[in-house]
Amino acid sequence: MNRITLENLRDIENDPRYTFIKGDIRSPEDVAKAMKGCDSVVNFAAETHVDRSIHEGGVFVDTDVHGVFVLCEEARRQNVSRFLHISTDEVYGSIAEGHFKETDRLNPSSPYSASKAGGELLARSYFVTYGLPVLVTRSSNNYGPYQYPEKLIPLFTTNLIENKPVPVYGDGRQVRDWLYVEDQCEALDLVLQKGTVGEIYNVGAGNEEFNLDVTKGILKLLGKREELITYVKDRPGHDRRYAVDTAKIRALGWKPRHDFAAGLKKTVDWYVQHEDWWRAIKQKQADYKAWIEKQYGTK
């Protein structure tokens, strides 16, 4: 599915260090073209949204599992020197107390997280079987500018700017650990440069928040009333809490630099200043919107 907007690349469009190639990671021809002559591969390409995977799981298996297979095959042919695969803390499933370590078992709950687990296991198998220099990161919830307005923070921010209600699933007491996008990028860069091949690194900022508190934080920043909070049906298979132990990546020299209150303000301000960007996106996706309304009764 093509949900990337080229608007996101405006800042670098005339920078000779970057080449944009439009393709599909499920296509061996596209992947061969994009990977030709590369030293390193960083795989961010994925279907990422849990609700969409509940709506239609097939494309998640195609992209997040088979797409990784196509990439690994080509990376092996090209003999790349590093292959960084971006995974997610959702592969562990939910944890009531404590923090998941990289060695803990995988127990994914949704078609999305199960597909991500399949993809990273496949990538690691290329390290074990063929010696492909694979590294894997498992990151917590990212937030920041340019995030697609289907995720909690951009969806709620943009709804509230439009004075529309915000649909909190279940009791809103699910916990996510919020990682500012620039902190995530620094972590990935470090793992790419200094990580040990064959290893997995958790990435999380330790900003554990109830969804309801995040929602109230956005309301406050935008000066909106709490009556705009609407409690709707819970997400099927909803994981209650994610939390990862980040000692391993911290030992490499990483630590997050954004605290949650400052990062949230920066993010909300960005959406206030970039209405054209998100309005153009929100006008599309009629089929998914209709499914969300039916699933959660948000009409």
> Which residues would be at the binding site for ligand DAU (CB under 6 A)?
48-50, 88-90, 140-141, 151-152, 155, 167-169, 174, 176, 211, 235, 242
Active site residue 287: no
Identified catalytic residue from 51, 64, 74, 90: 90
Tokens 């990483």, located at residue: 254
Quote the least distance from Cβ 209 to ligand DAU, whole Å.
Answer: 10
Residue partners of 14: CB distance under 8 A and separation at least 6: none
What tokens does 242 get? 């994610």
Return d(Cα 108, Cα 172) in angstroms, integer. Answer: 21
Helix (H) or strand (E) holding 279: helix 275-282
Edge-to-edge order in the sheet of strand 141-143? 141-143, 175-180, 208-210
Nearer to ligand DAU, 50 or 132 (CB): 50
**Least distance from ligand DAU to the Cβ atom of residue 133, Å:** 24
Residue 89 catalytic? yes
Cβ nearer to ligand DAU, comparing 49 with 99: 49
Give min distance, CB of 190 to ligand DAU, in A.
19
Nearer to ligand DAU, 241 or 274 (CB): 241
What span, in angstroms and rounded, lies between the C-alpha atoms of 264 and 144?
8
By C-beta, is 28 or 206 nearer to ligand DAU? 206
- For residue 156 the two structure tokens come to 């709620």
Minimum CB separation of residue 193 from ligand DAU in Å reads: 23
| Signed CA dihedral, 267, 270, 272, 275: sign only | negative
56 is catalytic: no
Q: Give the active site residue among 47, 51, 64, 89.
A: 89
User: 179: number of CA atoms within 13 Å, CB side?
Assistant: 28
As annotated, the active-site residues are 89-90, 112
